[in-house]
Chain A
């Protein structure tokens, strides 16, 4: 199974900061990666698909990049509503797998 390693596992940041989260795959997955945001008590929400395509309705401060084994989710200017846990998921091969998540906390 393809393993996805996210880093960092948690981070503290201030409103307005630029935040970058990475997701590394144990083998190449082309661009078959999605990013989700999850707030406590809620289901995850799709942010990015196909590594860099922004889901409809998601603010443009979110962006994704990468291909192969290394991927990045960037929040250009962190907003109060962005404090949450972010997870990546690969769709290249079965079993589909998730990264361990990155918790973004208020500094």
Chain B
């Protein structure tokens, strides 16, 4: 069974950093691109960014709202994707989801349960 489990969320002050982890199981993690998607309280979904699988270069793409502040990386040996969030702003408060991207079609097929990040002083 495919599972994605996020961890690392919590309360953080504006301007500080936080690193989220996404641990995958039940599939060959290294074969898939991994996305991060967030949802602010009571709001819609916002794509944050993604990292390609190593066969596709392992490169990253980001939303304009986080580019230069957030960094996505992966450790395929541990089946983990990371979201390093620096210079956090109150507007970054959201539930952060890790999702698996299906390369050959337009879709992300599995989502984690999400982890809440609250940026507040």
Contacts and interface: CB of A to CB of B under 8 A. Distances in A.
B105 A50 contact: yes
Contacts, number: 62
Nearest to A99: B44
A51 B106 contact: yes
Given A98-B45, A101-B44, A46 B109 contact: yes
A9 to B, nearest CB: 10
Interface size class of B (residues with CB under 8 A): 20 to 34
A43 B61 contact: no
Nearest to B111: A43
Contact of A100 (B44, B62, B109): B44
A31 interface: yes
Given A34-B108, A43-B112, A51-B106, A95 B44 contact: no
Interface stretch (A20-28, A74-82, A86-94): A86-94
Contacts of A33: 106
Given A44-B111, A46-B108, A49-B106, A94 B61 contact: yes
A55 B61 CA distance: 26
Interface residues of A, number: 29
Nearest to A45: B111
A49 B46 contact: no
B47 A95 contact: yes
A46 B108 CA distance: 7
Given A49-B106, A87-B45, 15 more contacts: A1-B64, A43-B111, A43-B112, A43-B113, A44-B45, A55-B107, A87-B44, A90-B106, A91-B106, A95-B61, A95-B63, A95-B64, A96-B35, A98-B44, A99-B44
Interface of B: 35, 37, 44-47, 50, 61-64, 97, 102, 105-109, 111-114
Closest 10 CB pairs of A and B: A49-B107, A91-B106, A43-B111, A32-B106, A96-B47, A98-B45, A101-B44, A94-B61, A34-B107, A95-B63
19 contacts: A1-B64, A31-B106, A44-B45, A44-B111, A46-B108, A49-B105, A53-B105, A55-B107, A55-B109, A89-B108, A91-B107, A92-B106, A95-B47, A95-B63, A96-B61, A98-B47, A99-B44, A100-B44, A101-B45
